[in-house]
Amino acid sequence: MVFVFYPIVDTIYMSFLEKGTGEFVGLDNYAEVVSRKEFLDTKRLANFFGGPSYGALIHNLLWIVIHLPLVVFFGLLLAVFLRDVKGSAIIKSTIFLGIVIPLIVGGVVLRFILDKDAGILNGILRAVGFGASVRDWTIYPDTALITVILGSVWIWTGFSMIVYSAGLQGIPVELYEAAKIDGASRWKTFWRITVPMLKPATIVVVTMTLLWELKIFDIVFVATLGGPGTASTVMAYLMYLEAFYTFPPDYGTASAIATILTLMTFGFAAYLVSRMAKS
Amino acid sequence: MRVYRWKKSMKRNKGVSQAVWMAIVAVLIIIIAVMGVAWYLTLPAPEEEEEEKPTLTVFSLWSGGEEENFLQCLGNFTEETGINVTHYHYTTTDLLIGVPMQLRAESSVADVIIAPWPAWILELASEGHLLEATNLITATKYPTGYINAVKDANNKIWASPFKASGKPGFWYKKSFFADNGLSVPTTYAAFKTLLANITAISGIEEAVASGDTDGWPLSDTTEAFIMGLGGYQLQEDLITGPSARNWTDTEVRNVFGNLTELLAADYFSDPAEWTSQITKFWDEKYGIYFMGSWMTTMEQIGNVSDLDFFGFPGTDGVGGSVDYLIIPKYAPHPDEAKELFQWLSGADAQEIMVGLGGFFGTHADVPATAYTTLDKKVLDFISQPTIHIVSDLDDAVGGKFQTTFWAQLRLLWVSPTTTTMNDVLDALEEQALAQQT
């Protein structure tokens, strides 16, 4: 209670206070945050294909829209493919390393992978004759956000793979045997037995991944500093800047961002947990 | 009967024996106690043990050659005072963010901190986290501007200027210029021609190296353009803020328009880690590199005698920054910290640093003869009567403006279009306005 409830209540309370005077200002901090381009750039959003920055709120949503399906897909794919492979434990452990390493280290590794001179991605591009496309992927506004999102898939896929692997262990073999006797194809067996039986695992993966994406900070901080400009900024990074880079610290605005983030997280989590309970 | 007597005699004997033994033991205890007291009383008075001197902790942004020089200087302090000092290199973020967090929690790991941000120092002082420095230094021994930058409304001084740096201009390799028939430009038109000529040289990636950490060296380059094309007063006005000058003013747009034109022409490299860019500059992947006076201490420079610089053509101002010493109120060893603070603030320590290179002393008694040839050349250049030394723009404004400035310049560098330039200037104006209010 002391370490969880009190900070939450205090943060919500601070979000209604003015930074300098500490006076109650109602929803002013929220209004100020939402009106900022770095939080939501409606002009750029209207011209979506013009490229980022769309503002931290939209960037967080893009994390969910792009990162989540890929993590679910690759996690499931790896779990299914590695189920009957000899020595799969070693492969799974290697993939799981992404989860074990600190996210800051993950961000540094990602930056190296995408580096113009030393990066493996550009090395591959050069090797296959696409030398003209070589660039420092994290420093351009049109590629910074998307490459950080895509590059982060490997970090979190280990988690979904392990959850799905555990889920696969729980599916009775009899179901597959019965399907085989009935002449069901592998594809049909996968869609009619494996996928439905993995629904609880999917809800766990989706819930945890979604929460991870909403509060994403470390990787963005290390790989792009939210830039260039605000092209890859996210809400947690914005909150950090308000709280610690502003003199004197603007805890009111930072708390307003934190509260918005918390409400979004709770909203998504509550919905998914209720789905999980029903299933 | 005989048996009864014998038993009685034994009982009586046993009783005597116990009393005797008890008396003996009591006497022995008394003797030992008396001897103990006598021994204690005759002991010589204990000599006071010499207190072991503490090890001080210093934080700064210096690493590589700069750190090595500073450690040598600290070695002299240890020799003189017997106080050991441990230095920790902090990144900009570590220092800018980590130190205020520690101090606001009323604790400090460092005894002395070296930081180049006067606005940040005054903010920490106003929150009551620093020890006052007014009586620790002789303020008249330092340039007034350096002292005023860390003086509050009550004329209290909160820091001591330790190291001054200048950003004289673009560094180049003399042999590279000679081999390729290049000459130092004296006009902006000649500067543009130079960039075109360097770009045409085989093996060159781009004419100008662009260093980056979190956007910092890009800001120095931009400030050189502001002062070179708009004059030193423009930079001073931008430091003052929107009450003096807006980022969206025509004059500022003209400066940024010129910079954007050169960026669009691919004369500048993509921003990359600033020290690795020195290596590439020295390997002749780039022709010139805008950097501060500390360039002469960088280990990537193979031969300092082959290094030279030229100022932004026609400029009337150069960026200068000062690294200040501060003592946190919660310093673990405040007395020794003051001793180190005063020693570093003095002319002797600064003379040592000056002799090691890449360091401009702030104390009036540091002799000009202590400087190396190249440092002296830089010092002479920035000391010309036609040149005004202006504070580093983003360091002086500080706060979130600084990170916005860095982030927006990184954007302009990789997306040099008029639209981006206008967006960048709008974002800077928005942040400057927010900070001013």
- Predicted local confidence at residue A218, as pLDDT: 92
- Predicted local confidence at residue A1, as pLDDT: 73
Chain segment B249-277, per-residue pLDDT in tens: 999 999 999 999 999 999 999 999 899 99
A225, A230, A244: residue with CB nearest B214:
A225
Query: Given a cut of 90, is residue A65 above it in pLDDT?
Result: yes
DSSP-assigned letters across all residues of B271-324:
PEEHHHHHHHHHTTSEEEEEE-GGGGG-TT-S-GGGEEEEPPTT-SEEEEEEEE
pLDDT (mean) for B169-185: 96
Query: Given a cut of 70, is residue B11 above it in pLDDT?
Result: no
* A43 in B contact zone (CB under 8 Å): no
B120, B127, B414: residue with CB nearest A139:
B414
The closest alpha carbon to B374, from B391, B359, B353, belongs to B359
Within 10 Å of residue B35's Cβ, how many Cβ atoms?
Answer: 10
**Nearest chain B CA: its distance from A192 CA (Å):** 49
Task: Please indicate whether, in this complex, the C-beta atoms of B407 and A227 are within 8 angstroms of each other.
Answer: yes
The answer to whether the Cα torsion of A226, A14, B119, B68 is positive or negative is negative
Chain segment B129-162, per-residue pLDDT in tens: 999 999 999 999 998 888 988 999 999 999 999 9
Residues in chain B within 8 Å Cβ distance of A136: 270, 272
- Predicted local confidence at residue B279, as pLDDT: 95
Distance between alpha carbon B186 and the CA centroid of its chain, in Å? 33
pLDDT-derived band at B215 (thresholds 50, 70, 90) equals low
- Alpha-carbon span B224 to B207, nearest angstrom: 17
Instruction: Report the run of H or E that residue B325 belongs to, with start and end.
Output: strand B317-326
Query: Given a cut of 90, is residue A256 above it in pLDDT?
Result: yes
pLDDT (mean) for A226-253: 88
pLDDT (mean) for B64-72: 88
- Alpha-carbon span A218 to A195, nearest angstrom: 33
Query: Given a cut of 70, is residue B4 above it in pLDDT?
Result: no
Q: What is the mean pLDDT of chain A?
A: 89
pLDDT (mean) for A166-192: 90
* B413 in A contact zone (CB under 8 Å): yes
User: Which residue type sits at B386?
Assistant: T
Task: Please indicate whether, in this complex, the C-beta atoms of A247 and B414 are within 8 angstroms of each other.
Answer: no
Chain segment B363-419, per-residue pLDDT in tens: 999 998 889 889 999 989 988 899 988 888 988 888 889 889 999 999 999 999 999
- Least reliable range by pLDDT among A164-173, A238-247, B417-426: A238-247
Both tokens of A21, joined, read 């005077």
- Predicted local confidence at residue B14, as pLDDT: 52
Residues in chain B within 8 Å Cβ distance of A245: 96-97, 399-400, 402-403
pLDDT (mean) for B32-59: 78
Residues A260-273 as b or e (16 or more Cβ within 10 Å = b): bbbebeeebeeebe
pLDDT-derived band at A216 (thresholds 50, 70, 90) equals very high
Task: Please indicate whether, in this complex, the C-beta atoms of A229 and B414 are within 8 angstroms of each other.
Answer: no
- Predicted local confidence at residue B391, as pLDDT: 84
Write the CA distances from A59 to A48, A66, A136, A230, B222, integer angstroms.
12, 10, 20, 10, 29
- Predicted local confidence at residue B2, as pLDDT: 52
* B380 in A contact zone (CB under 8 Å): no
Residue A196: exposure state from Cβ atoms within 10 A (0-12, 13-18, ≥19) = exposed
* B411 in A contact zone (CB under 8 Å): yes
B270, B272, B411: residue with CB nearest A231:
B411
ipTM value, please give it.
0.82
* B434 in A contact zone (CB under 8 Å): no
- Predicted local confidence at residue B157, as pLDDT: 96
- Least reliable range by pLDDT among A180-184, B34-38, B220-224: B34-38
* A134 in B contact zone (CB under 8 Å): no
- Predicted local confidence at residue B15, as pLDDT: 53
- Least reliable range by pLDDT among A57-71, B101-115, B218-232, B291-305: B291-305
- Predicted local confidence at residue B1, as pLDDT: 47
Task: Please indicate whether, in this complex, the C-beta atoms of B270 and A37 are within 8 angstroms of each other.
Answer: no
Task: Please indicate whether, in this complex, the C-beta atoms of B272 and A225 are within 8 angstroms of each other.
Answer: no
Query: Given a cut of 70, is residue A102 above it in pLDDT?
Result: yes
Is pTM beyond 0.95? Reply is no
More confident residue, A148 or B8: A148
pLDDT (mean) for B45-58: 76
A117, A245, A247: residue with CB nearest B119:
A247
pLDDT-derived band at A53 (thresholds 50, 70, 90) equals confident
Picking from B120, B126, B205, B415 by the largest number of A CB atoms within 10 A of its own CB, the best residue to mutate is: B415
Task: Please indicate whether, in this complex, the C-beta atoms of A227 and B215 are within 8 angstroms of each other.
Answer: yes
